[in-house]
């Protein structure tokens, strides 16, 4: 039987090293430090910009097989959760590891809803933002501000404190998001209605006008709930990595979550669905699709909403979102961009370029079309991602805090700068000769 180890011969010294292989395909990078040319040598390290092949943690939350298009939370296939579960039940699963029984679910729902109100000072704080402030900017600021309202959140080793902050954040996110939206429209803020479901209440806080009681459309309420389920977690993506990394310094979870939202704000992460809408609008008609595909194949354009670092087959979430779009259109009327999207997908999936590059629709390809049909402005798209991802961030953060192997996140670097130089008085310095990679050229 093959041994679970890797044998390395260092050709500089002729020495042989045996490194254990754990979990089927994992070697500990720190073991490379044993490989040295002499006692003063630092030892080898691995260089992995953008963590393309580095596991930063052990996790039991989300499983992805990018080749097979599999996504599971705690072992449950995303398709089953999208069909049968609710967002709050899925959030419970992601955070606690098991589906709740009826009594636990009732208690969880009650506990989350109890925290849907925000301190009036938060409202005043939000009033300070300009009328055209991007809602993601407002969200980053207000989540960080929550840290000052709940100083006990700094007790990150305390289980009860972690539970309380988790319920608070999941409970308050829809309120903060809705207030940010109403702020941008110059509309009065709508307070939470805890008789409604989690997503129904969110829709009420967004869209309630003068009616005494807002009644969410059940199809739109369910569609949003399904979209929330699909976005609850996605293992070690950019924003989750930010959550873990900031949390690893033992900053409180509000500060860490604010960092995660900031990471999600970027167009390469939570902002891609907005770019899809811009692309489809620019294409304008099904007639123009072949010309657009030609440009993509020539390397002149990116097809937004296509391709993924992990999925090299159809993103399982995109399949569900595509079906959902037609259910939403029954209520909202058809978003004409869907026809362009479907044609793009059809042609792309037959083209060699997309097949050979293993490019398939990702979750963002169809979500923007639904959000737009439901009346959300594009600036709200990443906010609609941040609300459900909060459960994933908190689950990943708690896992990190409790993991005895984790320490403050602190990568190493490959230093390429000057060796030792000595300071000289300003009038003795020679005319600077800028190197190609000098800092002044890039800042
Ligand atoms: N359209 C056209 N070509 C593409 C696309 C695309 N959307 N995505 C990748 N490619 C090509 C690249 O040009 C490259 O080609 P080459 O090898 O001939 O040079 C090859 O496929 C590999 O692409 P990379 O950029 O190296 O792949 P990476 O894993 O680093 O990037 C990413 C993944 C960022 C998602 C990329 O596919 C992309 O930019 N897609 C469009 C933006 C997008 O939809 N982002 C949302 C991602 S999902 C999410 O974050 C929720």
Q: Report the candidate in 419, 111, 126, 374 with the shortest Cα–Cα distance to residue 226.
A: 374
Within 8 A by CB and 6+ apart from 5, the residues are 18, 19, 20, 21
Among 263, 296, 324, residue at a domain's last position: 263
107 lines ligand 1 (CB under 6 A): no
Flag whether 38 is in a domain.
yes
306 lines ligand 1 (CB under 6 A): yes
Cβ density class 248-260: b for 16+ within 10 Å, e for less: beebbbbbbbbbb
The verdict on whether 134 is a catalytic residue reads: no
Domain shared by 255 and 276, yes or no: no
Domain shared by 11 and 157, yes or no: no
Residue for token digits 């705690």?
74
Among 320, 345, 373, residue at a domain's last position: 373
Residue 22 has pLDDT above 70, yes or no: yes
Domain shared by 101 and 203, yes or no: yes
CATH number of the domain enclosing 365: 1.10.230.10
Exposed / middle / buried, residue 32 (Cβ in 10 Å: 0-12, 13-18, 19+) = middle
Question: How many angstroms separate the Cα of 422 from the Cα of each of 359, 430, 436?
Answer: 52, 13, 22
Both tokens of 294, joined, read 């030609």
Which segment of 220-234, 246-260, 282-296, 427-441 scores lowest on mean pLDDT?
427-441
Distance from C-alpha of 117 to C-alpha of 278, rounded to nearest angstrom? 35
The verdict on whether 364 is a catalytic residue reads: yes
Both tokens of 437, joined, read 């990679």
What does the mean pLDDT of the chain come to?
Answer: 95
The verdict on whether 269 is a catalytic residue reads: yes
Report CA(324)–ligand 1 centroid distance (Å): 25
Specify the pLDDT at position 437. Answer: 58
Flag whether 410 is in a domain.
no
Flag whether 215 is in a domain.
yes
Flag whether 390 is in a domain.
no
Domain shared by 198 and 339, yes or no: no
Question: Tens of pLDDT along 91-138?
Answer: 999 999 999 999 999 999 999 999 999 999 999 999 999 999 999 999
Question: Tens of pLDDT along 162-197?
Answer: 999 999 999 999 999 999 999 999 999 999 999 999
Distance from C-alpha of 158 to C-alpha of 153, rounded to nearest angstrom? 9
Specify the pLDDT at position 434. Answer: 64
Domain that holds residue 22: 5-51
Domain shared by 257 and 285, yes or no: no
Query: Would residue 286 be called left, alpha or beta, if left means φ above 0 and alpha means ψ between -120 and 50 degrees?
Result: alpha
Flag whether 61 is in a domain.
no
Contact (CB, 8 A) for 390 and 257 = yes
Question: Tens of pLDDT along 278-301?
Answer: 999 999 999 999 999 999 999 999
Among 236, 263, 290, residue at a domain's last position: 263
Ligand 1, atom 26: closest residue by C-alpha: 309
CATH number of the domain enclosing 76: 1.10.580.10
Report CA(407)–ligand 1 centroid distance (Å): 32
Domain shared by 128 and 168, yes or no: yes
Flag whether 197 is in a domain.
yes
Domain shared by 34 and 126, yes or no: no
Domain count, the chain: 3
Flag whether 414 is in a domain.
no
Domain shared by 121 and 259, yes or no: yes
Distance from C-alpha of 194 to C-alpha of 235, rounded to nearest angstrom? 30
Domain shared by 202 and 317, yes or no: no
In the structure, what pLDDT confidence band is assigned to residue 271 with cuts at 50, 70 and 90? Answer: confident
Flag whether 253 is in a domain.
yes
Domain shared by 198 and 346, yes or no: no
315 lines ligand 1 (CB under 6 A): no
Ligand 1, atom 47: closest residue by C-alpha: 308
Domain shared by 47 and 103, yes or no: no
Domain shared by 22 and 121, yes or no: no
Query: DSSP letter string over 74-96?
Result: TTEEHHHHHHH--HHHHHHHHHH
């Amino acid at each position: 039987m093959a041994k679970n180890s890797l044998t390395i011969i260092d050709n500089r010294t002729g020495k042989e090293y045996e490194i254990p292989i754990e979990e089927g395909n994992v070697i500990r990078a720190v073991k490379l430090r044993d490989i040295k040319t002499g006692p003063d040598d630092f030892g080898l390290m691995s260089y992995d910009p953008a963590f393309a092949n580095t596991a930063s943690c052990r996790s039991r939350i989300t499983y992805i097989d990018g080749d097979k298009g599999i996504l599971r939370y705690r072992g449950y296939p995303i398709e089953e959760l999208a069909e049968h579960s609710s967002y709050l039940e899925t959030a419970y699963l992601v955070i606690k590891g098991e589906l709740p029984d009826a009594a636990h679910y009732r208690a969880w729902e009650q506990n989350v809803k109890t925290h849907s109100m925000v301190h009036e000072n938060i409202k005043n704080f939000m009033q300070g933002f300009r009328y055209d402030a991007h809602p993601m900017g407002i969200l980053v600021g207000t989540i960080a501000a929550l840290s000052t309202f709940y100083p006990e959140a700094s007790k990150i080793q305390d289980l009860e404190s972690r539970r309380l902050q988790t319920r608070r954040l999941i409970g308050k996110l829809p309120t903060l998001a809705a207030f940010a939206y109403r702020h941008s429209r110059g509309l009065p803020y709508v307070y939470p209605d805890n008789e409604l479901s989690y997503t129904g209440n969110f829709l009420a806080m967004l869209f309630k006008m003068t009616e005494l009681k807002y009644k969410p459309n059940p199809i739109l309420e369910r569609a949003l709930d399904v979209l929330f389920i699909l976005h609850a977690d996605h293992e070690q993506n950019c924003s989750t990595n930010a959550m873990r990394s900031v949390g690893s310094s033992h900053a409180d979870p509000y500060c860490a979550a604010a960092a995660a939202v900031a990471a999600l704000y970027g167009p390469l992460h939570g902002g891609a669905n907005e770019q899809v809408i811009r692309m489809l609008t620019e294409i304008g008609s099904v007639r123009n699709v072949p010309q657009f595909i030609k440009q993509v194949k020539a390397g002149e354009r990116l097809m937004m909403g296509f391709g993924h670092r992990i999925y090299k087959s159809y993103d399982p979430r995109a399949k569900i979102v595509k079906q959902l779009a037609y259910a939403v259109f029954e209520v909202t009327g058809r978003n004409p961009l869907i026809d362009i999207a479907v044609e793009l997908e059809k042609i792309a999936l037959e083209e060699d370029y997309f097949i050979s590059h293993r490019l398939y629709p990702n979750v963002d390809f169809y979500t923007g079309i639904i959000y737009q049909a439901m009346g959300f402005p594009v600036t709200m798209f990443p906010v609609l991602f941040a609300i459900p991802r909060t459960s994933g961030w908190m689950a990943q953060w708690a896992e990190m805090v409790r993991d005895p192997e984790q320490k403050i996140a602190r990568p190493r670097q490959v230093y390429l700068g000057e060796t030792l130089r000595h300071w000289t008085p300003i009038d003795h310095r020679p005319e600077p000769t800028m190197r190609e990679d000098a800092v002044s050229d890039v800042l």
